[in-house]
Amino acid sequence: MRAVIQRVAKASVTVNKEVVSEIENGLLILLGIEDGDNLEDIEWLTRKIVCLRIFNDSDGVMNHSLVEVGGDAIVVSQFTLHASTKKGNRPSYIKASKPTIAIPLYETFIKQLESDLGRKVGTGIFGADMKVALLNDGPVTIIVDTKNKE
């Protein structure tokens, strides 16, 4: 499981010209799922996300977590995070899970993140053509991969 975590001042997801999620201060999480991912990956990643100390304290030092600042989150499924560009110029997405595997894991990830965060999170619509808008704060962008735990 791979996540691109972006600290945002605001973010939104639009599908068919309708805003389906929007937040102010918080995190936009792009989530890539592969076949080997499981509940252990989900639990590790959601705990990591809510505890990452990437929000500024009163001295301007990144010392607070999403929980501590009361921030919100949006989770967007993004199979392209598992793109392989090793051969040629057309990325291969062979490592990305098919919807039959990815959708249940995506839904479980959202429920676990909501549990860890203590509130609802926004989402995109799995498989839809989404327009994601964000104002990256910092900018702060962190890439986390559960396979190598970094």
Which of the residues are catalytic? 80
Q: Looking at 16-150, which runs of residues are DSSP E strands? A: 18-23, 26-32, 55-56, 62-64, 72-77, 122-123, 130-145
Residue 22 neighbours by CB distance under 10 Å: 14
Phi-psi region at 103: left, alpha or beta (left = phi > 0; alpha = psi -120 to 50): alpha
User: HSE on the CB side for 128, CA within 13 Å?
Assistant: 16
Structural contact between residues 78 and 123, judged by C-beta atoms closer than 8 angstroms: no
Residue 112 neighbours by CB distance under 10 Å: 18
- Residue 139: is the preceding peptide bond cis (ω within 30°)? yes
Amino acid at 140: V
